[in-house]
Structure 1
Amino acid sequence: MTTRHPVGGGGGTLEIEFTLEDVARTRFAVSPLWEVVASVRVLKAADSHDLHRSWVEQVRPMLAAAKLDPAPLFDLVSVPTVGIPGVLVPPPTTPQPSLEVELTTLRATPLAQLSTTKSAHLPEAMAALRADPERELARLADTIAAYWEVALAPYWPRLSALLQGDIAHRAHRFAEGGAHALLDSLDPQLTWDTGTLQLPNRFTSGPRRLGGRGLLLVPSAFTWPRIFSTLADDEAVPTLRYPARGIGTLWDPPRASCSDALAGVLGRTRARLLAELTTPASTTDLARRLDITAGGVSQHLTAMRAAGLVNAHRTGRVVRYARTSVSEALVAANTTST
């Protein structure tokens, strides 16, 4: 399998040629595993990613506290990115796979695929995978799962809302103007013209025929400002990973207000707690901010966790609480109306 090449920054132009069958087979998917890999790129080159600085500043100490050995994952992600081994980011097989589903695919990577993955820029990391694929793939998957729990799981409701919102926006563009409007709107770097999607590429250029396979479009929070493509003629699922809309305000904390409507349903203290969880926080943090006893905060969080409004994530000895997708929507709706 070929590597994923970043798009943009000089070089030539890729010309992705669509047939009618390709247009009919073009679809969207979200990939938690891709977000893991793309976020590692951000962590390894944080100075180049001001957009995600607040996330980096929160996550780095949490990873240190978790005493996670990131080498099996980090060693496969080069910075600056020349290419990402295809084994690390298989295309999602469903529109909204869980990380567990994608890791099952990773663990089952055939030896033949490992042997054909290009890795001139990562010879040692790929050599280890090839030498003992069963052991090393399992080790890699376990590392990804541990990294996810600390670095992305507490933020996933917010990230997922961003990605799903992007897909909904693209669907609206398709409804208004068809495939032309959809493909032309994906990113300023992309241009649609008479059945061909053109995009600048630093490493390769020329035509790429989809051959009736269609194109899998994957919005990403951590990919900005680049586009990553997998477009080889022998690729089973040609894939384009592009920056999702709204990334510029992704980490902006919503106004921490407690609306009367939400307080009327949950009680004022619980509504205030949800409003404060703009980022994951511990019981001690929340008690200090709201001037409530830690025991009281714990009781409220336990009740809200049972109701599916918050999740708990352990980092070392500290348990941090975060909103779920349900409470993100509740807070967002009530913030907008106040």
Structure 2
Amino acid sequence: MIRYELVGMDLADVRFAVSPLNELVLSLRAWRDPGRFPLHLRWLHALDEARADLDEVTLSVLTNDRLWTPDFLNPRPYSPLTRIDDELAQLAQTEPAIVRSDLRAIHGAVPLPRPLRGSAHRVLARIVDALTGYWQRCFEPHWPRMRALLEGDVTYRGRQIAQHGLAAMFADLSPTVRLVDNVVEIQLRSKLDYARPTIGGLTLVPTLWTTNASTPISPAEPPMILYAARGLATLWEPQPLQAPDALAAIVGATRAGLLVHLETPASSTELAARLGVTTTAVNQHLRALRDGGLLVSARHGRSVLYRRSDLADQLVGR
């Protein structure tokens, strides 16, 4: 059991945050044991082609048979608005001694898996490169959808605290978490057992890749609880294309629905993931809408983002 002692029971001692890097690394659990993550099977099947271009050998050894991941790959985030570029840059600066000790913590005293052997600097660079490719190929198109669910959970927990207090919020995080007096107790399946005060705050991080609450392996790590986000069962369900009837009568139901979705910029890959259709099908409609002056496009990094034009804003508004 892990015990975090809240210092002074101050609300400022508890914060919520979202970590793209945590989600990226924890998702590797589903690679190793997809049967434990049935709600993600639709997403996993969609990755078959993309995974061929990844460093799967390195990615596969970032978890062990117990689905543990090294602490340095699950840093404590400090905001619900954390960016993956910032987290990867910070990861690349990890001390070599920490890399070695954290990898040993999950793989034991036996020789490390081959991709993790050698200089800690080279191993870390290999890990960062593998995770960057994984993000770009498999995660980035779907991240807006994932992030929206995680941020929705944070909003819900904030309302719980305001309406019912800290104890009720902790009790609702997981059956294995409870607040007793000023101590947050987390019952784990593993034999981890330590206690420490939450000096510097306790961070609560919703995730899509756990069924029970979890904590860092080492008591030296900043206090953090990862817990299952609400609404996961709906994450990969195709979203309906809803649009005003009058607009659908002008441009067709599908294109009207895309215009409604494109209130905020999105790529064709992201839209295809949201709607449960092929990217090719979405691109045909996007090109037609752009040629008709209803969309504008601009390259952003590796993706082309589409957004409504001023004319489309007027049409949708009316």
Cα gap change, 1:212 to 1:126, in 2 (>3 Å): farther
Cα gap change, 1:285 to 1:133, in 2 (>3 Å): same
Cα gap change, 1:41 to 1:211, in 2 (>3 Å): closer
The aligned counterpart of 1:260 is: 245
The separation in 2 between residues aligned to 1:175 and 1:99, in whole angstroms, is 30
Q: Tell me, yes or no, if the aligned pair for 2:208 and 2:232 is still in contact at 8 Å.
A: yes
Question: 3-state SS of the aligned residue for 2:187?
Answer: strand
One-letter amino acid matched to 2:6: F
Identify the structure with bigger relative contact order (alpha carbons < 8 Å, sequence gap 6+).
1
Question: 3-state SS of the aligned residue for 2:142?
Answer: helix
Task: Pick one of 23, 28, 31 that aligns with 2:16.
Answer: 28
Q: Tell me, yes or no, if the aligned pair for 2:215 and 2:226 is still in contact at 8 Å.
A: yes
Question: 3-state SS of the aligned residue for 1:192?
Answer: strand
1:127 is displaced (CA, Å) by: 7.7
1:279 is displaced (CA, Å) by: 4.3
Q: Tell me, yes or no, if the aligned pair for 2:150 and 2:206 is still in contact at 8 Å.
A: yes
1:285 is the counterpart of 2:281: yes
Q: Tell me, yes or no, if the aligned pair for 2:19 and 2:77 is still in contact at 8 Å.
A: yes
The separation in 2 between residues aligned to 1:242 and 1:14, in whole angstroms, is 14
1:208 is the counterpart of 2:195: yes
The aligned counterpart of 2:37 is: 49
The separation in 2 between residues aligned to 1:286 and 1:222, in whole angstroms, is 29
The aligned counterpart of 1:104 is: 89
The aligned counterpart of 2:4 is: 16
The separation in 1 between residues aligned to 2:146 and 2:87, in whole angstroms, is 17
Q: TM-score, normalised by structure 1?
A: 0.74
Q: Tell me, yes or no, if the aligned pair for 1:17 and 1:195 is still in contact at 8 Å.
A: yes
1:156 is displaced (CA, Å) by: 1.0
The aligned counterpart of 1:227 is: 213
The aligned counterpart of 2:25 is: 37
The aligned counterpart of 2:186 is: 199
Q: Tell me, yes or no, if the aligned pair for 1:85 and 1:118 is still in contact at 8 Å.
A: yes
The separation in 2 between residues aligned to 1:279 and 1:59, in whole angstroms, is 16
Question: 3-state SS of the aligned residue for 1:172?
Answer: helix
Task: Pick one of 151, 159, 168 that aligns with 1:164.
Answer: 151
1:76 is displaced (CA, Å) by: 1.3
The aligned counterpart of 2:287 is: 298
Cα gap change, 1:55 to 1:104, in 2 (>3 Å): same
The aligned counterpart of 2:264 is: none
The separation in 1 between residues aligned to 2:169 and 2:281, in whole angstroms, is 44
The aligned counterpart of 1:153 is: 140
Residues 224-257 of structure 1, C-alpha deviation per residue, up to 9 Å, x if partnerless? x12220274422x211111101111111222334
Question: 3-state SS of the aligned residue for 2:160?
Answer: helix
**Range moving further from structure 2, 15-24 or 137-146:** 15-24
Total equivalences in the alignment: 295
Cα gap change, 1:193 to 1:139, in 2 (>3 Å): same
Cα gap change, 1:140 to 1:162, in 2 (>3 Å): same
Q: Tell me, yes or no, if the aligned pair for 1:88 and 1:106 is still in contact at 8 Å.
A: yes
Q: Tell me, yes or no, if the aligned pair for 2:192 and 2:217 is still in contact at 8 Å.
A: no
The aligned counterpart of 1:75 is: 61
Cα gap change, 1:174 to 1:264, in 2 (>3 Å): farther
Cα gap change, 1:127 to 1:212, in 2 (>3 Å): farther
1:241 is the counterpart of 2:226: yes
1:212 is displaced (CA, Å) by: 2.2
Q: Tell me, yes or no, if the aligned pair for 1:52 and 1:251 is still in contact at 8 Å.
A: yes
1:49 is displaced (CA, Å) by: 1.6
Residues 255-313 of structure 1, C-alpha deviation per residue, up to 9 Å, x if partnerless? 334333765999855324467733475553347xxxxxx4x6434368787468x9897
One-letter amino acid matched to 1:63: R
Q: TM-score, normalised by structure 2?
A: 0.78
Question: 3-state SS of the aligned residue for 2:240?
Answer: coil
The separation in 2 between residues aligned to 1:78 and 1:304, in whole angstroms, is 50
Matches within 5 A, 1:321-336: none
Cα gap change, 1:323 to 1:151, in 2 (>3 Å): farther
The aligned counterpart of 1:187 is: 174
Q: What RMSD, in angstroms, separates the aligned Cα atoms of the two structures?
A: 3.5
Matches within 5 A, 1:92-131: 92-117=77-102, 119=104, 121-122=106-107, 124-125=111-112, 129=116, 131=118
Question: 3-state SS of the aligned residue for 1:204?
Answer: coil
Residues 7-35 of structure 1, C-alpha deviation per residue, up to 9 Å, x if partnerless? xxxxxx33333221675321111110111
